[in-house]
Each structure stands twice: as C-alpha cells, then as structure tokens.
Structure 1
Amino acid sequence: MDEYEKILSKQRLNKYIREQDNGNLILAINRYKWNIEISRAFYPALNIIEVSLRNRTHKAISSYLNDEKWLENFSVHEQKFKLPFSREKVVKAMQELTLKKKPIEEPRLIAELNFGFWTSFYDNRYEQMWRSKNGLALVFPNMFRRNRTRSKLSKTLNRIRDLRNRIFHYEPIFHWHDLDKHYDRITECASWISPKAKTLILNCDNFKEVMAKKPSV
C-alpha cells in the first residue's frame, strides 16, 4: 500500500480514509476508484451545460453590445464590464492562442475561456445588462418567465461550477448524499437553454446506472 501513497500522495488518500477502516487502506482505494466512477458519470452533463451556456451567453452579450466579435474587441467594451477578472481572462486566452500559434478568432476565444468566466456574467454587477433587451430570455428561453431571474440563475450556475471544479480538480465527491440533486440541477438548467441540450445529456450519459451500483463505502 506504500506504493499507492507514493503515486497518489498520503495527503490525498487521507481524504478517503474513515475511522472505522482500522488502517485498511484497501477501503480508501476502493472509495478513490468509486469517486472516479462518479466523476466520470457527470462528464456528459458538465460537457453539454458548459458548451451550451458559453455559446448562448456569448450570443446574448453580442446582442447587448451589438458586436458579434466582442471578445476580439474586448478593449473597446471593457468599461461596460467593470471587472478586472474579465479583462485578465480574455488577455490570457489571447496569449494562450498565440502560444499555440492559432489565430485569435471569436470561436476560439469562446472555447478557450473557462466556465467560471461565463458564469461570472450572472453576478449582480451585470443585473442591468441582463435587463436590457430581455437578455436572459436569449440564453434560457425555456425557463418559466417568473422564475427567470439573474439571481436564481447565478445561484444555480455557481453550484454547478463548484461541482464541476471539484470533479476536474479530482477532489472527492463520493461522500455527498445529494449527488442526484446535483445531476438533476444540471439537466434542468440544460433544459432551460434547450430541450435538445437535456436530451443530448440523457442520450450519452450513464449517471443513473452508475449510482445504482453504488458500493458500500
């Protein structure tokens, strides 16, 4: 078992050890493997929600700014965003594309910017932007109008982002007792964007099947 500690680190394995294990590291390894299975099962849903959200959000902001290449022209619109985080992220994305010797084009910038960048546009500092031109309806046309508020969406998207970051940073989620609710939150949010987004998730994932096989860990 020392070899597992060498390749995974003792600090990481400690997150999977329980007092009742009585020093049996095999149980911790089993939990580690189960955590990988759960994380993998979330991937299709996280993939679809991230890609669809960034594309729809970009389109809505394009309408607000009347500029389909607002990322390429970010410096022109920078004062409207009032957030250094956004500028730094866009500059970094441009630098990454340059290092990869790829042209700085809007579709590439959209893909280069991470989920946190896109969810940040639902923070309260952008309330006025979303009120203009009924912007939220452009992103979430299938959400009930009375529920379609920036604050509700921000709360939902931040929860999805937190889960996404834990999974992609290989942190434990196996001990969470509400994983089904997290999954349902993602699929519901996808359905607000487009029913086909939710259908695509359901057609290519196996989350329910994986959870049905949950071992006693």
Structure 2
Amino acid sequence: MTIFSLYIFDRHCACVYYQDWHRSRKPKPAVPGGTLPAVNKSLSPTTIAGSHVQDVSPRNTLSINSGVVIAVSNDDPSFTQHPSSSPSGTGGQSSSGGGQSTGLSFDEEAKLVYGVVLSLRNMIKKLSGKDEQFVSYKTSAYKLHLYETLSGYKFVMLSDPEAESLRTTLHSIYAGPFLEYVVRNPLVSMDSKERGIDNEYFRAATDRAVKSIPFYSI
C-alpha cells in the first residue's frame, strides 16, 4: 500500500497545490494559462527560448489506471492499446523527461479530479441529506480521500485502494503545515485567484507528514 498524490483546491475550484510520491506515470506540464503559478514547479507550463509550448493534440479516450485519471488520443502514432488494458502501466506516452506520462496535462488532470469530487459530493447530499459527508471512494486501482475545511479548501489524496482512511492525515496537514506556512504566512496571498500556495517549508512539512504514515512504504 502506498500514497500516490495530493491535490489542494481552493473555494474558487482552482488547484493551488500538488505533490506526488509513488506515481510511476506523471502528468504533462500544464498548458499556458491552464493552472495558477506556484502550484508545482515541475508541472508549470513548458517554455522554450522564452516562448510557451502548448500541446494541441486531441485527447478523446478516458481511463483509470494505477490511481491516475488519464487521457490519450487513439490517433497518436505511439498509441497501440487502451491504457486500462496494460497491467504494467506502460500504455501511456513518454514525457519530455524520459519517464512515463499519462498523456494528460496537469491542468486537465486537476479539473477531472475536482469534477469527480464535486459530482460525488453533490450526489451524496441529494441522496442522503445535508448531514451526510463524502469522505472517500474506491476503485480497483486507487482510493480517493477528501477533507474539506470550513473555508472551502479541499484536500484530496489518492492512495492504494486498500489503504485505510487518510482523513486524519489530511486534517493534520491542514491543522499543522497549512496553517503554519500558508495561512499565517504574510507572503502568501490567500484567495488571490492569481497564485498557488507552493513554498519549500510547506512542501517539506507535507512530505514528512505523508512519509510518517505507517503503510507509506509497504
């Protein structure tokens, strides 16, 4: 059992922070204007000689594989089989860094993750009443955990499907590193709609919190 990734969304539905651990297939860098600055350095829009490079290839095949929401185009020359039919997770495209890629840019992946959370949360409220909360759901490939703050921030973590509830871990990240290095940090503009919340201290503290989970390296 292990941890795949962490997303933090603000009350404006924007992904303001991202971090991953045991993901073998990474998303592509975000397209220009697709995500806020300072969300994740390695997934910022790609630039060459000062110019943005935007991926305009069509993506029309959605699937779930190894805890990652992915999309690839079946008219891509490198596409040989549906990603979900590849148990080893090798059906994706290669990223510019030489590793496996999901074929989906980070901003599109974040929108899909948020869409799943919002849809399931609304469905539960309509079917079960306002007092019922959506905290997690599981597929054969991954488990999604949700912790939502009173101020509207949503902490979303993807893990191995057999992992125990990580709601307590998400709350501890919020009550500890998030409040200490983000909310109380005068250099971080909360709710600015212009910038993410990435900083070295918060990222390091979050990394320590996740790696302290008993089943992190199992």
Structure number with higher helix proportion: 1
**Whose strand proportion is higher, 1 or 2?**
2
Name which structure has the greater RCO, CA cutoff 8 Å, separation 6+: 1
Please identify the structure whose Cα radius of gyration is greater.
1
TM-score bin (small chain): under 0.3
